[in-house]
Structure 1
């Protein structure tokens, strides 16, 4: 699979990525290499990575707890302090080895320590490989509000090695696949259809779909790196999905969900709205709803809870002038942005989750 280049950085696949890392290290001679991991990737992924790295530089490992609840400024402060204590300078390199929390948070930390040091993403989850580690978005949550603090700053490179997927439970593979389905919905109906036939997440065929997903996201990012126009399409399903995530984080008595699970619910909600505001056909909506039904996710919210989530949607970064703005589909494979919808229709759309 050929590398994918987006202006200032490149996405490499499998061993060609580790060759690229070693070439960069040899040419740039970093003073120290910092590897950011969580407790899960330290155990399951770090031992696989280290034999691949060729260097005489000092390697320091910084480990944090895993989970979205640690994607915050407090965690950043701890890592910043560790970096300073371990002698981080402008010639240091940070390698972020983990899922979306690690790459989001690690990219933000690297972009801000010493006013910025170079960093490399090595995503170890499917969600990271097809979404979080591509596009240069780095940041943290503010309380229960998703991704409110951050910068857009690309890594030197992102390395996608599907071998890491063998460390994941099935639930996390399904979780990451949701973003791949989203890529099909916003840009490629054939790709959407191909995803509907996936049965094995560890096959060469699925590796090719990962590659195609990376191409789709990269093409959109290259057109609009700072999310002024078409890149907003990558947030399809996320206005409602992030509100669901934030609401459930606010209410620990409710069962927590993974990011992709919330986004799948958001896709159904925003597809229903697409029928009423963007001309998506009822047949296309039923196709999307049938896919969602096969996932067997259990979401149910009363009208009062939906109103609370509508308030949370107002913090979505796509919004301007106090209006909630959705990305909607006009057909499978085509989108429109900046669509304002009524609260009444949002409430109706949430009822579609009850299956």
Structure 2
């Protein structure tokens, strides 16, 4: 299945095969550089090994995970590119999850003022979210994705076969973004997801295209996040702060786990400050708790969380910016909340027991 994204690139969903690499070879690049992390080198690269036959081929490995998504890792990637002889007429291939997709795209878009790159996402999170839309970045000053660029890959190849290489926690993390897409823009998808009570055995080949299409439509209308694209940030203002706070603790959360908690809290704000009904708030809360459980937020963390939210790149005029829900499928951007209201949302989340 191919989903056109303006004139910039195509998203192809389905098995990756010889035809994909024949298309890449026809573009006559001087070489290919493939970015992998420790996990994708072991589990995913062998699935493509038969197609990676360019005479000038470089494999660059980076350490996995959000703690390594910083400028120091990027510097090592640029250094390895220079050592491998990568030039302006090369193409980079990012084979990995969201962290590697962001970093490899950012490194490629800035190396020698930019070389072509394509994304082969290997996690559910990267398939439905980070590989689509051309937002690339790294964490800096303890703030998620605070340094980066907008740059489109030449293509995104989404093959659900890579999901078979993932542990259940990675699948669950990516599923949060699928839920988000339904909540902000596709009420039918949201209600259909209510039938999924366990993630084992889900037909991802059927669900991924619907989720990708939500993001595709939003990105087409607002490629540089001036308006509508901010809807994609539902759950992320509080969720990113939670993710950053727990990153250096033994209770580190995956991205989707933190965003799931953020969506519960921002749904509560939607009920308090917008039109989201009490019934919808309860349904949203129970569904996320069912899949993600509950990670208590200590009261001592609130000042740190608030400071992280104040650094969020979406803020305007020193006000903390949120996306809220009128109802499932209908989002409102550029909403604001006070520290007291945010603390109320944290309190609501903390009061809920694991369900």
- TM-score band by shorter chain is over 0.9
Deviation at 1:14, TM superposition (A): 2.0
Matched residue SS, 1:198: coil
Q: Which runs of 4+ in 1 moved over 6 A?
A: none
Whole-angstrom distance in 1 between the partners of 2:28 and 2:288? 49
Cα shift readout 1:294-349 (whole Å, capped 9, x = no counterpart): 02433212333123201110111110111101100011100111111121111111
For the pair 1:65 / 2:63, whether they are aligned, the reply is yes
Bigger mean CA offset, 341-350 vs 163-172: 341-350
- The alignment covers a number of residue pairs equal to 351
- Structure 1 residues 132 and 38, CA gap change in structure 2 (3 angstroms): same
Q: Following superposition of structure 1 onto structure 2, how do residues 36-51 of structure 1 map, counting pairs within 5 Å?
A: 36-51=35-50
SS at match of 2:203: helix
Give secondary structure in 1 for the equivalent of 2:349: coil
Offset of 1:85 from its aligned partner? 1.2
Which residue of structure 1 aligns with residue 295 of structure 2? Answer: 299
Q: Secondary structure, in 3 states, of the residue corresponding to 2:260?
A: helix
The aligned counterpart of 1:12 is 12
Q: Which is worse superposed, 262-271 or 44-53?
A: 44-53
User: 1:184 maps to what in 2?
Assistant: 182
Q: RMSD between aligned alpha carbons? A: 1.6
Give the 3-state SS of the residue equivalent to 2:85 in structure 1.
coil
* TM-score, scaled to structure 1: 0.95
1:259 counterpart = 2:255: yes
**What do residues 213-246 of structure 1 show as CA deviations (whole Å, max 9, x unaligned)?**
0111000000000000000000100000000011
Give yes or no for the alignment of 1:224 onto 2:203.
no
Q: Give distance in 1, aligned partners of 2:337 and 2:86.
A: 48
2:337 is aligned, of 336, 341, 353, to 341
3-state secondary structure, aligned to 1:352: helix
Q: Is the 8 A contact 2:260 2:292 kept in 1?
A: no
Q: For residues 296 and 160 of structure 1, do their structure 2 counterparts lie closer, same or farther at Cα, with a shift above 3 Å needed?
A: closer
Judge conservation of contact 1:165–1:202 (CA < 8 Å) in 2.
no
Q: What is the TM-score when the length of structure 2 is the normalising length?
A: 0.95
Match of residue 195 from structure 1: 193
Q: 1:244-292 deviations in whole A, cap 9, x for unaligned? A: 011112xx34410100000000000000000111111111100001102
* Secondary structure, counterpart of 2:133 in structure 1: coil
SS of match in other structure, 2:156: strand
Q: How far is 1:22 from its partner?
A: 2.3
Structure 1 residue 234 corresponds to structure 2 residue 212:
no
Contact kept in structure 2, 1:90 and 1:116, CA below 8 Å: yes
8 Å CA contact 1:12–1:160 kept in 2: the answer is: yes
